[in-house]
Structure 1
Amino acid sequence: MTRRILWAIVGVTCFAVVALAVPLGVVIDREFEGQALLRLERAAILAERDVPVGWRPGDPLVLGTPLRGTSFGVYDLGARLVSGTGPAQGDDAVRDALDDWVGERETSSSYVIAVPIAEGGSVVAVLRAEQALAVTDRRIRFAWASMAVLAAVIVGASIVLGRRLARRIAVPIESLHDRVSQLGADAPLVALPRSGMAELDDLATALEDASRRVTESVVRERQFSGEVSHQLRTPLTGLRLVLDAERAAPRPDRLAVLDEATASLDRLEQTVDQLLALGRRRPVDRNRLDMADVLGGVRRRWLPAFAERARTLDVDVDAASRVSAVVSLAAIDNVLDVVIDNALKHGAGRVRVTAAAIAGGVAVRVADEGSIELDATGLSDALDERDGDAGRSGSTRIGLRFARRLLRAEGGELVCTSRAPMEISVILPEV
């Protein structure tokens, strides 16, 4: 990249130099030619003043010293050379001067100026001045050589400055390229280097933000995959229990089992929608729910599972009838299912579920007769210990972590309020 930037800078500089030098060279050429004619005309006029008054062709005449490369000649009224240097017969410039004009011509080898020598208002002779083109050509070549040297200096300076600028641009871009190759990795990009160039620094900031968003999206998708596999087990298990119970002891009312199966499928659909909303951070509908209805649904869903394991589930629905909270039904159902499933599989004895109003909200407590014997530094760590102890297979760890994330999205919290006996509280905001 450095070489490409350098060649681009040098190429643009060379193009600019050529684009300026060519017309400038033409202007200099014409300017030098014009100056040569003016100098020659001035020299001829000064020499004409050296002609004494009353001079006639054939009289002795001494003219001033001409410029280098310049010669003078005097012609009579017949355009014949009578003094000095020049062609024996006068040319067009001499004939123009005989007509009382300043004659000006350019031959293949010289510039020619002819001025009339007048006396008493009449032309008595003509002074012809001639200068070789080589004199002006040397000046033009010197000017062109100076321009070439200046152009070489400019191009050389562009190479030196171009290298520095190319490195300044290329190094941070290459560094960005190396760092951006980590985009989408498990960890977000570290802070990208800043070059001091506003555009590149803005690009680095945008890439850092994009990396964080991509990483968060990847993490959410991975969490979503694990949470889906865990959370779908509960409604699927409930549906299996309904079907197994019906197969073992068919009921006369066939619609009852269909209603229960439909309810399990509805719950499965709610679980999927809630997981999608959480994983993609979509807004969910929240309503004020009567906690008695919520706990009633918990009892209906979990009594068969507890009966199968010969465990007791005590849900205090009556006490919950005086308590309500603004929360998503799917969210609170999923959270309570995770906590109760944890108590069923990893707790002991009877499991009791109660709901009560607390300052600023509602607390739904799930308690069992088990305990945590690990050396925790505080009750807030007990939930993580229970999670880790019960999660040797990884499933409960995912479930409790998901429940906590789900509650926090609802403005609530999942905390451990007791270790012996074990009690986990689901805290919901009042509004």
Structure 2
Amino acid sequence: MKLWQKDKSALAEVEKFTVGEDRAFDLLLAPFDVLGSIAHVKMLSRVGLLDAGEADLLVQELKHIYATTLDSQFVIREDVEDVHSQVELILTGKLGDAGKKIHSGRSRNDQVLVDIKLFLRYELEVLVREVKDCFDLLQTQSEKYKDHLLPGYTHLQIAMPSSFGLWLGAYAESLADDLLTVQSAYRVANKNPLGSAAGYGSSFPLNRRLTTELLGFEDLNYNVVYAQMGRGKTERIVAQALANVAATLARLAMDVCLYMNQNFGFISFPDELTTGSSIMPHKKNPDVFELIRSYCNQIQALPNEIAMMTVNLPSGYHRDLQLLKTHLFPAFQNLRDCLQMTCLMLSRMQVKEHILEDEKYRYLFSVEAVNRLVLQGVPFRDAYREVGRSIEAGTFSYEGELHHTHEGSIGNLCNDEIRSMMDKVLKGFPFDKVKAALEKLLH
């Protein structure tokens, strides 16, 4: 059933093709559709398009529908096209003509726009909290293992001494930067498109600033054509932010897969966190991290997928945009799963001690030998050549002591400063303001 349907029904094959998987994804949008409708009803009452009695009845019924969206009671009937239609049909069935008035001054275009913005805003907040949990664990493990040395590599060749504290702390700081891009995506999502209607506004005297305040948005999408053009652009920006977090996790997962390899042997995990082989009894495979790597690589492809789906669209709404949900929405859960599994694994990681005492790592200390000569007054280029000649002659000897004191080095990880950096990023999210606005809207 289409509330916008005219006299002729669509061919069944056309109906099936155009609706696709939309109902399933619309269930995710249901609570946000209701929130947008509550704000819209209150605004319609304020500008005189609904009387106070009608508005009160509609808001009360919408609050009841909202509760059903949170406990899995809300369903979209098979003969109903989308969540917007389902909500309006429930209202009309309960309240008659008052339910029919709720669509005044809006289109399904700006309804789905505001639903998606609210959904993305919510999902990004959940993601931020998951990233913060992973950040905290990385910092804890960085401090715990800051004195445990391991080889550092460039070009996959042994390069200079590193430490587990330095390694884990690097990924913590990476997540702090990743959240800067999540914050930018959040700010783009946190603008109100409601009232843009089909992309060209309305002749009704709508109060768009009021719905912005009621829904806790930071600001409006002012230009109504741009509000509609924001569909696709917003999703792409959000996808890029997800991809940045995913890139950090994928790189960490690749490191772990290498370090678990017997030829490295730097870390291990309890048997219950690894998998075996059907024919090789010695195997302890890093399946969890291999899947994290693959899921995260898939998420890194997402911005390009969305770009390719929207690259040649002119302004205005196009049905192509419907398919963005099928690509973007599952990515949030996949990324959360990867963050949670990363935390589970790293919390049980076992670190090998005294790795650098192995003779094969002696050349890691060549730079230390060069620097020691420089500190004795030898010019750097001469010191470099002297140590290089000793390596070629097989006479190089080394000391395993390290004296790194500058900011961010093995001996001065700056984890407190990195935590301050993360705290500053987190304070830039207006989560409390949004929560207060929505609580007020629902009470």
- TM-score tier by shorter-chain length is under 0.3
TM-score, normalising length from structure 2? 0.25
Question: Rg larger in 1 or in 2?
Answer: 1
Larger strand proportion of the pair: 1
TM-score, normalising length from structure 1? 0.25
Greater RCO (CA < 8 Å, at least 6 residues apart): 2
Larger helix proportion of the pair: 2
